[in-house]
Amino acid sequence: MASGPTSNDESTEVLPIGELIRAERARSGLSYRDLAGKAESAGYSVKFQYLNDLANAGPKSWPKQPDTFRGLAAALQLPVRDIVLSYAVSLGLDIGGTESRLSAGLPESIDSIAPEVTDALLALIRTLAEHPDSRSSAGKTDELGLAADSSKNRGKALEASIAELGEGTQEPRRKG
């Protein structure tokens, strides 16, 4: 989430919306009018003065229209979720558990993994998280390697099972 609402120090701290706007302006060199133009190009109305006010004084209240979030997301080239969280932080709301380093590192295609494999991975992660010795990898690389190999083998076994299911003969349907 390097371009999202987090700070650059690898933490998961969500930055206020004003800081996101200032960071985008610094990164892109765009003016408030240019950022408002990006929102307008995406079909949303975000006034340049509103961007200026958010960047310099922060929000005074939650936006009345959801399209405000969408427009800010378009202007800042960030997901709407990041804008909502940053807005909430700006208003002093405790957003609680932000994304962990582990979940931030997962690829977008993670949801395409078979449910059985997902269950096996979750069981492995829960076991590691609950085991006091897993908080340090010193001397544990062999055990972690075995766990990873086990997961790979389970995945290969699932692939083989799926392939076997697909190898069954199927008679073409006859029109009749």
Distance CA 10, CA 4 (A): 12
Q: What is the pLDDT of residue 95?
A: 82
**Number of C-beta neighbours around residue 151 at 10 A:** 15
Q: In this predicted structure, which of 2-6, 34-38, 90-94 has the lowest mean pLDDT?
A: 2-6
Please answer whether residues 8 and 78 qualify as being in contact, where contact means their C-beta atoms are separated by less than 8 angstroms: no
Q: What is the pLDDT of residue 103?
A: 75
Q: What is the pLDDT of residue 169?
A: 46
Q: In this predicted structure, which of 8-12, 45-49, 106-110, 124-128 has the lowest mean pLDDT?
A: 8-12
Phi, psi of 107 (to 5 degrees): -70, 160
Q: pTM of whole model > 0.85?
A: no
Residues 6+ apart with CB under 8 A from 111: none
Please answer whether residues 33 and 63 qualify as being in contact, where contact means their C-beta atoms are separated by less than 8 angstroms: no
Distance CA 63, CA 84 (A): 10
pLDDT in tens, 21-65: 999 999 999 999 999 999 999 999 999 999 999 999 999 999 999
Helix 17-28 and helix 80-90: axis angle, to 10°? 130
Q: What is the CATH code for 17-90?
A: 1.10.260.40
